[in-house]
Structures are given as C-alpha cells and as structure tokens.
Amino acid sequence: MNPPFRRHVLYLPGFDPIPPRRYRELYRREAADQARISGHRLRITKAEAQGFAWAVHGLVEGQDTRSVIEVALWSDIVQASMRQGIIGTFGQLVRTAWTYIATGTLARLMRLRRGPVIAALYPIAVLLAQLALALLAGALAAWAVAGLGGGWLGLPVALAVIWGVLVLGRRLDGRLFAYYLMHDYAFTAQHRGAYPPALEDRLTAFRARLQAILEEDPDEVLVVGHSSGAYLAVSLLADHLRAGGADPRLSLLTLGHVVPMASFLPDAGRLRDDLAFLGRADLFWLDLTAPGDACCFALCDPVAVSGAGGTDQRWPLVISAAYTQTLSPERQAALKNRWFRLHFQYLCAFDRPGDYDYFAITAGPRTLADRFAGRRPSPGRITTPAGAR
C-alpha cells in the first residue's frame, strides 16, 4: 500500500484584519461542497504546526493524502494600520490619491484593467460622497437654526450634524467597505511601493518558517498567495531561493493578484526585482485570475506588465478561472454583484470545475507542477509592460 501523499500549504492572505479561523471555516465549508461535486473524501482536523493551521485527511483521485494548511499571519499588521479615525482616514485619502496620481501610477494602471482601478476609486468616491452629504446636512441644520432665531447656535449644531453623518457612514462600513478599502490602498501607497519595516520583518519570519517546513520533508510545499498576499508570496520565495537555491518540492500558486497596485509605484524596486528573479527561477509558478473578478488584474502577467520580464522569462503560467464556464448559471446569478465574494471564489467550490480545483490542488495526490504539466497560458493573457522599471 502506497503511503499517503504529504503536502504542507503555506497560505498568505491579502490585506485582511480578520483572524485566521475565518479561512479554516471557509475551507471546511467549501471543501464539503467540492467533495460532494467532485467525489473527494476530505476530513478536516486540528494540526500540530507552529502557526495557525489545520490538517486535511483526504482520499482524492484514488489516493490517500495528508495536507497541512497553515496561514502565514500578518493580520496584526493590518489591524495596526487600520487604527485611523475618521479624520485620519480622510487624510489617508488625500495622501494615497496624490501618490497614485502624481507619480503617474494611476494612468499606467488604467492601461491594464479598468475594473480594479474602479475598485480602487470606489472608496474615494464613497468617502467624498459621505463628506458632501455631511456638509449639506450641516448647512441645512445651520439654516434651520438660523430660521428659528438660534443665532450663534447654528455653527455648533452644524458641526454636530456633520460629525454625526460621518460617524454613521463609518458604522455602515460593514456593508460599504469604503474605509476598509481606503486603508488597504493607503497601506500599499504609504511607502510608495516599498515594504514597511514591520512587513519586512514578517517576511523574514515567514522565510524561517518556510525553511522549517521544508526540513519536515513533505512531498510538496505549496505557497499560496491571494490578492495582495500574492506579491508577498513572490518576495518570500525570491528571498528563499536567493538564500538557498531551488527545491523541486516547492511551488507557488497566486490567486486574484493585485501586483500592479504595488509594483507600479515608484519605490517598489524591491518587488520588481523579486518579480524579475522569480520569473526566471527554477520554480513552478501558477497564476490564476478571472475576468469576472473586478478586484484583481485579470490575466495580467504580473512579471511582464510590471516591466520585469524579458526574453528569458519562464513564469508564471497565467490561466483563467473562467467563471462563466466553471460556475453554473445559477451560481453566477447568486454571486452577481457580490464583488468581495467573487474575489474569494478561488478559495471556494466550483460546481463545474475545469482543471482548477483548489481542494484537489491543496489536498490531492499530485504536485502543482504535475497537475498543470503541458498546460498552455490562457489566450487572453496580457504581457505588455505598463509599469516603469
């Protein structure tokens, strides 16, 4: 009897302040759906790992498997960056908009995909609309007080109304996500594309953890980066490979990337160097996006569009999740206009799966390189350099 195929997944989430158990529960729920659709047998238990992790015991494609899914935590850094009040967030709005516009980054991003740029402009539009509404409400309140002969009371009443409207907008952000997205883009822009010291320190810790995982000798070590976690995964693996060389057990999967939002900024030289290095490295790298995900740079080769490619570029293999084909019309209708949910679909079940099945990849018996051997890039792949190098 063959021993189980052993895999360790190191998952780097995007800009997310939510504790990592959210990802475990998402995996548990969606794995059950995919198992029912695809015939997998998956059982999720606790895992003995250094960080936050869970174990997946599987019978997938006729073979026993054992996987550990570990979340590389940086939610504390995200939480710290979001401790801005209302006034501080409007300050971030001005600084972030100025950074992207004055450096020409916004114009270069518009050459790629308008969807994620519109998503980036969304929090600015919503916050400015809230401010305009607050000012209008304050002016009306002052006018009403003046009409009642309130005299000098008009100004404090107006200020109180303005502040009340802004506070209400902040409390509604669980539905609007304007403050959350503003903090996200501000975090990327605050050092004009360079990693802040806290994040550099965390990447160093991730590299030490990755080395420890490799020393446990699994059959595959799969690094997965989602959203802004995709470019962190690029830098993590570039650092690791520079320090220790290639390892055939190691592979990279990036999902729904937003790499140009960082790599196009003027001081993102570190990231652009990492992209150039990894694009030529001895490492299997699969990049998956979907045109139906308006929050990502769909089918944009993150190396090439950042100006870090060249004739000797090998990676990534860019393919589409093709939501219109891999999700039934009923599932597409249920997800319509749910932009955040569509951005997380890569981590979820597909009811018409093609060659991409997140649960077969993370809990199945084949490496990422074996599973996608011979796969050609999707025909809509965008490789034209739009970022200055």
The residue-averaged pLDDT of 47-56 equals: 85
Inform me whether the pLDDT recorded for 115 exceeds 60.
Answer: yes
Residue 387 lies in a domain: no
Inform me whether the pLDDT recorded for 389 exceeds 50.
Answer: no
Residue 162 lies in a domain: yes
The residue-averaged pLDDT of 48-76 equals: 91
Q: Pick the closest to residue 253 from 322, 341, 346, 342 (CA basis).
A: 346
* CA separation for the pair 286, 315 (Å, rounded): 8
Inform me whether the pLDDT recorded for 150 exceeds 70.
Answer: no
Question: Where does a domain end: 139, 168, 189?
Answer: 189
Same domain membership, residue 116 and residue 55: no
Residue 349 lies in a domain: yes
Question: Where does a domain end: 128, 158, 189?
Answer: 189
Confidence band of 151 (pLDDT split at 50, 70, 90) = low
**Structure tokens given for 278:** 């990894």
Inform me whether the pLDDT recorded for 152 exceeds 70.
Answer: no
What is the length of the chain?
A: 389
| Average pLDDT of the residues of the chain | 92
Residue 382 lies in a domain: no
Same domain membership, residue 207 and residue 130: no
Inform me whether the pLDDT recorded for 267 exceeds 80.
Answer: yes
Same domain membership, residue 235 and residue 159: no
Residue 384 lies in a domain: no
Same domain membership, residue 70 and residue 93: no
Other C-beta atoms within 10 Å of 276: how many? 20
Same domain membership, residue 131 and residue 64: no
The residue-averaged pLDDT of 251-266 equals: 96
Same domain membership, residue 141 and residue 112: yes
Same domain membership, residue 239 and residue 304: yes
Same domain membership, residue 122 and residue 69: no
Same domain membership, residue 164 and residue 201: no
Same domain membership, residue 99 and residue 21: no
Query: Residue 314, SS3?
Result: coil
Contact 315, 279 (CB under 8 A): yes
Question: Which CATH number belongs to the domain containing residue 27 in this structure?
Answer: 3.40.50
Cα 29–chain centre separation? 20
Structural domain tally of the chain?
Answer: 2
Same domain membership, residue 212 and residue 173: no
Instruction: Provide the H-helix boundaries in 177-322.
Output: 178-189, 197-215, 229-244, 259-263, 269-279, 302-305
Same domain membership, residue 238 and residue 185: no
Contact 320, 288 (CB under 8 A): yes
Range of the domain at 215: 5-76+197-371
Q: What percent of the chain has pLDDT over 70?
A: 97
pLDDT for 1: 63
* CA separation for the pair 97, 106 (Å, rounded): 9
Residue 389 lies in a domain: no
Residue 376 lies in a domain: no
**Structure tokens given for 381:** 């792949």
Residue 176 lies in a domain: yes
Lowest mean pLDDT among 153-157, 165-169, 180-184: 153-157
pTM above 0.75, yes or no: yes
* CA separation for the pair 316, 289 (Å, rounded): 12
pLDDT for 29: 96
Model confidence over 294-313: pLDDT tens digits? 999 999 999 999 999 888 99
Sign of the four-CA dihedral 227, 233, 238, 239: positive
pLDDT for 149: 67
